[in-house]
Structure 1
Amino acid sequence: MGGILIGKVALAALLLTGVCAVAQESDRALPALDLPEALRSAVPLPVSEADLPTVEAVEYFKVSDQALQLECPVFEPGGDLLFCEVFGGRVYRLTPDKKLSTVLGENELRPAGLEVHKNGRIYMAELGDFAAQGSVVSMDADGTNIEEIVPRSSGFLADDLVFDKQGGFYFTDFKGGSSRPDGGVYYVGPDGGEPVSILPNLRIANGIGLSADGKTLWVTELAGGKLHRVSLSDATTVAPFGDLITYTFTGAGPDSLRIDADGNVYVAMYGQARVLVFNPLGLPIGQYLLPGRDEGHNLRSTSMAIRPGTDEMLILTNDWDRGRGSTIFAVRALAKAAPSFAIDE
């Protein structure tokens, strides 16, 4: 009986040794990925963009220790920076010597885009209930005397806007999703009236900008991950074959955009803590990274603005639940700010 038991133990040991040997041999035979450090980042740069000229921004102004959803940067004629906080509806003013004040306190508006008209009034695109009732409103420079331009009852989710030479404006409709092209771009003339559809069937239309000659409209599609370049015959007519997708983004979606005096286009990458730069044809030529991105900080980069008469560009972001609050960063753009149809004669 004892001999049988010893034999069974020996057989088990032999089988276990064989299994271990096979496992070790299998481990040695399995190929493994050896990721470079750059691809171990919380937000690794897409391979197609990793070799673009790149620079890291520096901190310009700490807005709050809280994670406020900063948006809407635009400069007033006197050089003050206006910007907003989406979920609380606040509008802020930051002077060139970095004095922060509140233009509009907490309210029911949900601002996502600001522009300043020649008459000094501030125009705001706001997202309302984030479902079907946003609007475009205007207010005095001190935040008073708010008037509806495009009412909430019109059914738009107005996210961003830009003026043209005539005093009308284009705005993006932030509706839809990756499988629902319900958003678009609309135009309201200088005398008001019903918004005219310019670019329909977009998947969350977001950023918008107009070239210095007023002939090319640039639009980002957040959920569709696209950059559109739209040639215009006139304010409300797309030129024949004039609507092109010049770029398809990788990863989190493209947010707001701005254009410099040379026609370069800057696109904030929401969720990636960076700004991509495109030439006037829509080809990527560079990028600005925000500090801490490899560790997952400052990812909610929403928008930027170039200070008039200079190439100083300010980038807005927040750290959401990662503890670094809300910050404005600064870089040098590739060219000076483009003239604003809203404030420049």
Structure 2
Amino acid sequence: MTMQYAEQNSPVPIPPAESGLATQIATPWFKVSDQTLQLEGLCFDRDGNLYFLEVFGGSIFRLDPRSMKLSTVFSLAGRNPASIKIHKNGQLYISCLGDFTRGGLLICNPDGSQQRTILQDYVVDDIVFAADGGFYFTHFVGTSCEPTGGVYHVSADEVVTPIMEKMAGPNGVALSVDERTLWVTETSANRLHRIDLTADGKSIAPYGTSVPYHFTGYHGPDSCSIDCDDNLYVAMYYQGRVMAFNRLGFPIGQFLLPGRELGHHLLTTHPMLVPETNQLLICTNDPVGKNGSWIFSAEGFARAHQPYQFK
């Protein structure tokens, strides 16, 4: 008997353990470029503008969802920016991969003025703010056989404290609604970490670490974000989909990009809910099909969590 390929011999088949999850097909929302741009860092400001970036070219974009007008605000060419988060004071905090051995965190005004850089000894991939004005960041280094990365806490006065080290490419980071649980995706080890924090948020609670999920397939989990019900959304890089997990790390659903079964729109990097709605935006690009760079839309499980910047 000759074995038969499943799913039209797709390069990215859905693993059997995930094929029964609640599934939604995302729809095109905005085409950013005809070029293949590594889009990342979806983040809304208080006026409803969407900021995001292109990693390898360094462009910082702003999209007005009312007019759907896209503008390039400024450029960080050569710094390989990886995420944007907006502080309560309105400043942009832009994670920079740098030369992939040293990067940093760039802090500036929304127009790119008054720039300063901290954490220059780290390859900063993503951050998430806490209510006290501090934040957590991932140091995106390490391989599956040499785990040298980690996740760290930075206080409001910029004191760095390690939370977890010896990680293989820690990437996305998110904080639960009550700020007692830290989520970290470990790209090069294909793992999702759930970390229970002490009351001060600067260390791990007793018996506070677990790996509730091991991902399957190439390449691995990327950026992540939460909704107001503490569900976690994780972009699956080179799989053209986003997976959703409940507050304990059990998978509850997935969002697929159209054409992924043929190899299109696979470079999915970041899911983010539109403030005050359950609209989930997903950025990606399509090096296989040459269909450019896009933001897709789907319907999340719950409304967006109101993050630090809006409180």
Deviation at 1:41? Answer: 1.7
TM-score w.r.t. the length of structure 2 is 0.97
Which amino acid in structure 1 is aligned with residue 144 of structure 2? S
Partner-residue secondary structure (3-state), 2:17: coil
Counterpart in 1 of 2:214?
A: 248
Unaligned runs of 5+ in 2: none
Counterpart in 2 of 1:53?
A: 22
Counterpart in 2 of 1:215?
A: 180
Identity of aligned residues (%): 45
State the alpha-carbon separation in 2 of the partners of residues 114 and 129 from structure 1: 18
Counterpart in 1 of 2:298?
A: 331
**Which of 271, 280, 300 is 1:313 aligned to?**
280
Q: Does 1:163 align with 2:123?
A: no
Equivalent residue runs for 1:201-240 within 5 Å: 201-233=166-198, 234-240=200-206
How many residue pairs get matched?
308
Which amino acid in structure 2 is aligned with residue 165 of structure 1? A
Deviation at 1:42? Answer: 2.2
C-alpha contact 1:85 1:91 (8 A) present in aligned 2 = yes
**Which of 67, 71, 92 is 2:61 aligned to?**
92
C-alpha contact 1:273 1:299 (8 A) present in aligned 2 = yes
C-alpha contact 1:39 1:45 (8 A) present in aligned 2 = no
Deviation at 1:306? Answer: 0.5
Counterpart in 2 of 1:67?
A: 36
Q: Does 1:42 align with 2:7?
A: no
CA deviations 1:5-46 (Å, max 9, x no partner) are xxxxxxxxxxxxxxxxxxxxxxxxxx321334x262221000
Counterpart in 1 of 2:152?
A: 186
Which amino acid in structure 2 is aligned with residue 104 of structure 1? F
Q: Does 1:176 align with 2:145?
A: no
CA deviations 1:205-234 (Å, max 9, x no partner) are 000000111100000000000000000012
Counterpart in 1 of 2:98?
A: 128
State the alpha-carbon separation in 2 of the partners of residues 319 and 209 from structure 1: 26
C-alpha contact 1:53 1:285 (8 A) present in aligned 2 = yes
Counterpart in 1 of 2:267?
A: 300
Which amino acid in structure 2 is aligned with residue 40 of structure 1? N
Structure 1 residue ranges (4+ consecutive) displaced by more than 6 angstroms after TM superposition: none
Deviation at 1:277? Answer: 0.4
C-alpha contact 2:144 2:189 (8 A) present in aligned 1 = yes
Which amino acid in structure 2 is aligned with residue 147 of structure 1? R
Counterpart in 1 of 2:257?
A: 290
Partner-residue secondary structure (3-state), 1:223: helix
Unaligned runs of 5+ in 1: 1-30
C-alpha contact 2:264 2:288 (8 A) present in aligned 1 = no
C-alpha contact 2:56 2:77 (8 A) present in aligned 1 = no
TM-score w.r.t. the length of structure 1 is 0.87
Partner-residue secondary structure (3-state), 1:336: coil
Q: Does 1:76 align with 2:76?
A: no
C-alpha contact 1:217 1:231 (8 A) present in aligned 2 = yes
State the alpha-carbon separation in 2 of the partners of residues 75 and 213 from structure 1: 21
Deviation at 1:321? Answer: 4.3
More strand, by proportion: 2
Counterpart in 2 of 1:111?
A: 81
Q: For the aligned residues, what is the CA RMSD?
A: 1.0
State the alpha-carbon separation in 1 of the partners of residues 112 and 286 from structure 2: 27
More helix, by proportion: 1
C-alpha contact 1:55 1:288 (8 A) present in aligned 2 = yes
